[in-house]
Amino acid sequence: MAKLDARDRDRLRDSQFAYVDKQGEGHLPINDASHVGNAVARFNQTEFESMAAKERARRTILTAAEKHGIEIDEGDNIRK
C-alpha cells in the first residue's frame, strides 16, 4: 500500500475518505485501490459517531471497491 504521510493526507479531499467526522477529520482513506482494500479490512475497527455515519461509510467503501475492481466476499462483515 502506498503510504500517506501527513502532508499527503492533508491534501486529500473529503470525498477521498469513507468517513469524515464532525470535527472534519477524515477516516479510512479510499484514494486508491490499496487504501480501499485497507478501508475494507479496518471498517469494523473504526469508531463512528452514529450508525447512520457507519452505514454511509460502508456504502462509500463498497462503491470505491467496485470502482477499483476489488471483490469483496459476500460473507465479509462490510457486506452486512
In sequence order, what are the residues at sequence separation of 6 or more whose Cβ sits closer than 8 angstroms to the Cβ of residue 50? none
Percent of the chain at pLDDT > 90 equals: 80
Indicate the number of domains in the chain: 1
Given a cut of 90, is residue 56 above it in pLDDT? yes
Q: Is residue 20 part of a domain?
A: yes
Mean pLDDT of 5-28: 94
Q: Is residue 1 part of a domain?
A: no
Given a cut of 70, is residue 1 above it in pLDDT? no
Q: Is residue 32 part of a domain?
A: yes
Mean pLDDT of 60-66: 97
| Predicted local distance difference test score (pLDDT) of residue 77 | 85
* Secondary structure (3-state) at 8: helix
| Predicted local distance difference test score (pLDDT) of residue 5 | 83
Q: Is residue 23 part of a domain?
A: yes
Percent of the chain at pLDDT > 70 equals: 98
Please give the residue range of the domain that contains residue 69: 6-79
Q: Is residue 74 part of a domain?
A: yes
Q: Is residue 15 part of a domain?
A: yes
